[in-house]
Structure 1
């Protein structure tokens, strides 16, 4: 049985493991993939102390004030050439214009001026836009449909180009930097932010694509880009956050710099990004920092530049590691939840979940490593839920089994009443007022000598069945079978105020129901097998008595029980003897005949004994009604304490 249980447990654990491993293998799509992304967003968010922006990254905003003063888009390209020249002459380290100039301008002279500026200042970077296929042929790839380069009239050289594609996840959030894309000639074009980050890095830490190693490197450090050449971006500023002592990129209005309100030499030694910073220019995206307020593209590029300069690249654990984690948590939790149940199981689940969460956080904080969170955690939770449900069902089955077993000793109504009361049947004894019946078969020994053992057992079982049914019909508790005899209790474990009456009625029913069997025994074996019954009422100790660890019996002990047994031993075949105490409690309800005082074993003085002959006439006429009333009274009774 134990082996079968462990086989079932192992099989279910394996099934849970395979289920979550399979979902994990499907990638980051779907609801769980988004949950995983959101959790990573939370852990990557920086405290104010860690959000200090790079002071050498500055923004020049094409904001609403600039649009009001210089006119609506698109602007004459001479304005860009003028501002770029001012910044370059003042010593700006690099200047990036985050405005797409894919078509020739309306004024050829302005394009010519822009071309001269690009030729004069090689540290100017212009954007390239990759247009991807709406439907990718292969998962994990970025297949290009077309590429939008700056117009030839502008004359930007290959080293002055960087792509500005900002790819959104399925929930519309920008989380990653596409560090490089292959152009139509098969050459890898670095991102806008890569080009600009290299101006802030020394020669030993330049970010480059290694064709030989087929990977991106920051000096000797390998950059863990995925199959799409993407890496996670660290965000240092909130969307549209103004510069403060703690955070926020230094940003000024395009018009203020162009008009000289902000001197150009303010940008000496800095990387300067010029880009849209107004809602109508449609260059804004959601980021992990806010689900409602969007961040302008120029801000995103600034954060990407700083991430690359900082050189802290988070990586994701390989699928093998994630599968191993799912397997480990599944089978570890399966073993533990088999050992611990109830409140202990909840405590174990809490500890396992807490340890897993701490490991997940620390691996990122110390190693910048992301292990998958949702699938192992859900595997752990699934095992826990399955364990709770299976243990609950097992307890229900055990309760049903115990109820059925107990139902062989007491009527089902008594069992249901005890369960409904919610009170425990305590280990040990309680002093209770009860009535006790002892029943014994007269003539059993002569019968045993004349019949085969199998026949003896058959007759005995029929007699015991009659006794048991009579006890149960009147809501008594079958205490035990004693050889060819029976002991039954009325008034426990359920309190019954009229227990003496119930006991006597049960005895009379035994007498009536045994008539046919007595006649058959007399006819077939020539021995008149009949009952002798003793009934007594009074106080007794009732409860679970025996060995605490090995065996307990629910029974009654005391002088009341002893006297009932003595009355039964003095009863003649077919005779029902009751004590003086029982008689006093049922007087007028039955036809009785005094036997007189009888000397019984264990008593110094003789006891007054009465024989019950039948029910009184008025009770006989309403027997059925009385029986229903008595049962209803019993059901309204309370469990004894």
Structure 2
């Protein structure tokens, strides 16, 4: 039995490991993956005190105010050339224009002005846009359909471009910075933010692509990108936040800087991003900071720049590590939950959950290392639920087995009461009003002399079986077998308002059921074996009597019990004798005949005895 139980539990453990590992491997982007991302978002969100936007990063907004002042967007490229020239001459470290200029403009003169700017100022960065295939050939692939470079009429050099692709997760949220993308010639094109971050980093911490090692580095530190060259980015500003030096990147309207209302010298030694900052320009995205408010693309790039400068990279654990966590936690849960049961199992589950989640938070917050959290936790919970159910089923099965075995030695009603009470069995009893039935086989001794011992046992068992079934049929408690006799109680441990009636009916049932057996004994051995029954009703002490440590018997004691035994001793074969007390309680229910007063052992005065002949209706 134990071996079978362990086999089932081990099989379930392996199934749970496989099931959750398989779901993790699918990476389907369903609700579990969204929950996983939500947990990571919570860890990465910084408090207001922790958020400190870099003052060296500034934004010039192409906002509604500028559109109203300068005309409908897109603008003439001469405006960009004029603003960039002002900023460059004022000493800006780098200027990034987050506006796609992939086609030649309507005015060749304006394109020529931009070309002059790009040639004169090497610290100007223009965007490259990668268009990916709608259907990728494999998981994790990023196959390119086309790449949009700045128009040839603008003449941006290879060191003056960076891709501006903002990659969204399956739930539409921007969490990752794509450090670099591969061009047609196999060369890596860094992200917009990488190009700008390098203007803020010293020579020892530049971000670059190591072609020999096929990896991205920040100085001597390898950047832990995923298969798509992505790394989790931190956010230092909230979507649609009032921009100020205290809460966000300094942000000014394009037209104010162009017209000189904001002095270009304000941007000296700063990295400047110029980009759309109006909802109508459709360059805004959901971030982990809010599921409803979107953040403009130019501000996302600013946050990515600062994230690269800070060098605090969040690493996602590789698949083998996550598989090991799922399997390890499931096996640990299996070993613990198999050992502890009941309330202790719930306590162990709570402690294990706290330790796991606490370890995950510590790893994420302090080590910037993300292991999967939902799949191991659900695997642990599944193992816990299985073991609780397993223990419950096993306990019910064992309880049923013990009840069946124990019920053969003591009354089944007593077993049920003891189990349901949940209390330890103790010596003692309580005063109850009951009816007691004593039954004895008349003619048993002559029969024993004529039959072999095995035959005697067989006949005796048949008689006792008749008695037992009759008692149980009438909801009585079989107290004990006394040699060839039986003692039964009615009204305890389960109360019965009509226990005298049920006791008499049980006696009549014994008499009816024994007729066939009586006839067979008379025919085969020549001895008429019949019952003699005595019944009395009244108060008695009912409970457990004996040794509390070794053996207890559930029984009844008192004068009521003694008189019932005396009546049975005076009963002739086939006779059912009841006391005056019992007669008074069943008057009119049965056909009776008075025997008169008889002298019984232990009583000074004779007692009135009545014989029950059958049901009153009969």
With structure 1 as the length reference, what TM-score do the two structures score? Answer: 0.91
Does the 8 Å contact 2:95/2:124 carry over to 1?
Answer: yes
Aligned to 1:579: 579
Does the 8 Å contact 1:178/1:228 carry over to 2?
Answer: yes
Q: Structure 1: where are the runs of 5+ without partners?
A: 622-641
State the distance in 2 between where 1:547 and 1:260 align: 105
State the distance in 2 between where 1:34 and 1:451 align: 83
Aligned to 2:172: 172
Per the TM alignment, residue 546 of structure 1 is displaced from its structure 2 partner at its CA by: 4.9
Task: Sort the Cα spacing of 1:337 and 1:209 in 2 relative to 1 into closer, same or farther, 3 A.
Answer: same
Does the 8 Å contact 1:333/1:383 carry over to 2?
Answer: yes
Per the TM alignment, residue 225 of structure 1 is displaced from its structure 2 partner at its CA by: 0.4
Aligned to 1:313: 313
Aligned to 1:30: 30
State the distance in 2 between where 1:502 and 1:555 align: 18
Aligned to 1:462: 462
State the distance in 2 between where 1:480 and 1:604 align: 25
| Farther-moved stretch of structure 1 (449-458 vs 424-433) | 424-433
State the distance in 1 between where 2:227 and 2:424 align: 68
Per the TM alignment, residue 109 of structure 1 is displaced from its structure 2 partner at its CA by: 0.9
Aligned to 2:266: 266
Aligned to 1:67: 67
Per the TM alignment, residue 20 of structure 1 is displaced from its structure 2 partner at its CA by: 1.0
State the distance in 2 between where 1:480 and 1:537 align: 18
| Farther-moved stretch of structure 1 (311-320 vs 536-545) | 536-545
Does the 8 Å contact 2:45/2:235 carry over to 1?
Answer: yes
Does the 8 Å contact 2:577/2:612 carry over to 1?
Answer: no
Task: For 1:223-622, list aligned pairs within 5 A.
Answer: 223-244=223-244, 246-398=246-398, 400-401=400-401, 427-428=425-426, 429-546=429-546, 552-588=552-588, 589-600=590-601, 603=602, 605-615=604-614, 619-621=616-618
State the distance in 2 between where 1:570 and 1:72 align: 121
| Farther-moved stretch of structure 1 (468-477 vs 607-616) | 607-616
Aligned to 1:85: 85
Per the TM alignment, residue 368 of structure 1 is displaced from its structure 2 partner at its CA by: 0.6
Does the 8 Å contact 2:540/2:558 carry over to 1?
Answer: yes
Q: Alpha-carbon deviations, 1:290-315, whole Å to 9, x = none?
A: 11111111011001001101101011
Per the TM alignment, residue 139 of structure 1 is displaced from its structure 2 partner at its CA by: 1.9
Task: Sort the Cα spacing of 1:334 and 1:550 in 2 relative to 1 into closer, same or farther, 3 A.
Answer: farther
State the distance in 2 between where 1:123 and 1:53 align: 22
State the distance in 2 between where 1:569 and 1:245 align: 108
Aligned to 2:96: 96
Per the TM alignment, residue 203 of structure 1 is displaced from its structure 2 partner at its CA by: 0.5
Aligned to 2:181: 181
Does the 8 Å contact 1:48/1:246 carry over to 2?
Answer: no
Per the TM alignment, residue 389 of structure 1 is displaced from its structure 2 partner at its CA by: 2.5
Aligned to 1:42: 42
Task: Sort the Cα spacing of 1:235 and 1:7 in 2 relative to 1 into closer, same or farther, 3 A.
Answer: same
Q: Structure 2: where are the runs of 5+ without partners?
A: none
Q: Alpha-carbon deviations, 1:390-421, whole Å to 9, x = none?
A: 23333444555566668879999x799979x9
Per the TM alignment, residue 557 of structure 1 is displaced from its structure 2 partner at its CA by: 2.7
Does the 8 Å contact 1:94/1:196 carry over to 2?
Answer: yes
SS of 1:169's equivalent?
A: coil
Task: Sort the Cα spacing of 1:369 and 1:426 in 2 relative to 1 into closer, same or farther, 3 A.
Answer: closer
Aligned to 1:632: none
Q: Alpha-carbon deviations, 1:89-144, whole Å to 9, x = none?
A: 11111100000000111111111111111111111100001111122122212111
Task: Sort the Cα spacing of 1:157 and 1:613 in 2 relative to 1 into closer, same or farther, 3 A.
Answer: closer
State the distance in 2 between where 1:69 and 1:343 align: 72
Task: Sort the Cα spacing of 1:436 and 1:205 in 2 relative to 1 into closer, same or farther, 3 A.
Answer: same
| Farther-moved stretch of structure 1 (71-80 vs 478-487) | 478-487
Does the 8 Å contact 1:533/1:577 carry over to 2?
Answer: yes
SS of 2:69's equivalent?
A: helix
Does the 8 Å contact 1:410/1:475 carry over to 2?
Answer: no
Aligned to 1:633: none
Number of matched pairs: 615
SS of 1:225's equivalent?
A: coil
SS of 1:114's equivalent?
A: helix
Does the 8 Å contact 1:434/1:489 carry over to 2?
Answer: yes
Does the 8 Å contact 1:180/1:190 carry over to 2?
Answer: yes
SS of 1:389's equivalent?
A: helix
State the distance in 2 between where 1:244 and 1:466 align: 97
SS of 1:50's equivalent?
A: coil
SS of 1:517's equivalent?
A: helix
SS of 1:610's equivalent?
A: strand
Does the 8 Å contact 2:13/2:330 carry over to 1?
Answer: yes
Q: Alpha-carbon deviations, 1:178-209, whole Å to 9, x = none?
A: 10011111111110000000111111101111
| Farther-moved stretch of structure 1 (558-567 vs 306-315) | 558-567
Task: Sort the Cα spacing of 1:347 and 1:283 in 2 relative to 1 into closer, same or farther, 3 A.
Answer: same
Q: Alpha-carbon deviations, 1:550-570, whole Å to 9, x = none?
A: 655433233322332233233
State the distance in 1 between where 2:469 and 2:82 align: 110
Task: Sort the Cα spacing of 1:546 and 1:92 in 2 relative to 1 into closer, same or farther, 3 A.
Answer: farther
SS of 2:49's equivalent?
A: helix
